[in-house]
Amino acid sequence: MNNIETMNFKAVKEYLQSVDSVDEDIINLLKADKRKNVNALGDKLQRDAMKAIEELARIKSMYTFDRDQGVYAITAGVDEVGRGPLAGPIVAAAVVLDLYDLKDENLILGIKDSKKLSAKKREELDKLIKERAVSYAIGIADNNEIDEKGIAWCNNEVFKRAIKGLKVRPDLVISDGFPVSGIECENKYYYKGDNLSISIAAASIIAKVFRDEIMQDYHKKYPNYNFEANVGYGTEEHVRAIKMFGITPIHRMSFLKNILY
């Protein structure tokens, strides 16, 4: 692309779109061009390159965090979604990733706390995590079990069910915020662990996508409550619908005492 000065702006853009990657030499040529719109392309590509470097470093640090927990053959991360909603299940996921082959091309970029991702990005990462994971599994407790045994018990239980569902037995389970009791391996837990651990963050994504799909199905069955948007949480719209239309078979009665009475 040494003849950039002879190419019009459209041709420059088409060339950049046709190549798989842009190196530093091309960026420097763009930034040295006399045309401001070509300079702007170079500036944008430079910013994108810096973001890619920062993202790779962030993801590597999350893999390294898990790997540096100690000498463990298999480490699983667990996280849950759905502790607080008025309706629907609580869901946990357990994920085992390869923490030892840290070549750049093997890392799953973009993984972070599921709440910080768009629905579309979560779905893309959910598919990729499942393809790359050594093993993953889901644990679930429905609203009836939550009402019968309490949310704290169910929270721990769905972790246990997810861990038990793994095809490989972990030596270490890393959890977000709270310990997991009653499991047959070591457990370490960290405040805001989904920002530190690649395995916890991956589990948060899988659990979130799985539960959201459940609530989307419930939306079709109970459209008055807009479960597709609120996924069971106590939004003003959801509470108003409960008062107007009553409860559904998926509502948590133990969570509705202050609303119904």
Query: 230 Cβ partners below 8 Å, 6+ apart?
Result: 237, 238
Give residue 135's pLDDT band: very low, low, confident or very high (50, 70, 90). very high
Domains of the chain: 4-67 (no CATH), 75-260 (3.30.420.10)
pLDDT tier at 5, thresholds 50, 70, 90? confident
Cα-based angle 256, 257, 261 (whole degrees, multiple of 5): 115
Give residue-wise pLDDT tens across range 98-117: 998 888 888 999 999 898 99
Q: Residue 78: which of 200, 183, 186 has the closest Cα?
A: 200
Share of the chain above pLDDT 90, in %: 73
pLDDT digits over 50-72, tens only? 888 898 999 999 999 999 999 99
pLDDT of residue 144: 98
Binding residues for a divalent metal cation: 79-80, 176
By CB atoms closer than 10 A (0-12, 13-18, 19+), residue 20 is exposed
Q: What is the mean pLDDT of residues 72-90?
A: 97
- Per DSSP, helices labelled H in 81-150 are 119-132, 143-149
For the record, the structure tokens of 219 come out as 């939306």
Known binding-site residue numbers? 79-80, 176
Note the pLDDT tens digit of each residue in 223-250. Answer: 999 999 999 999 999 999 999 999 999 9
Indicate if the pLDDT at residue 9 is higher than 70: yes
What is the C-alpha separation between 68 and 230, in angstroms, rounded? 38
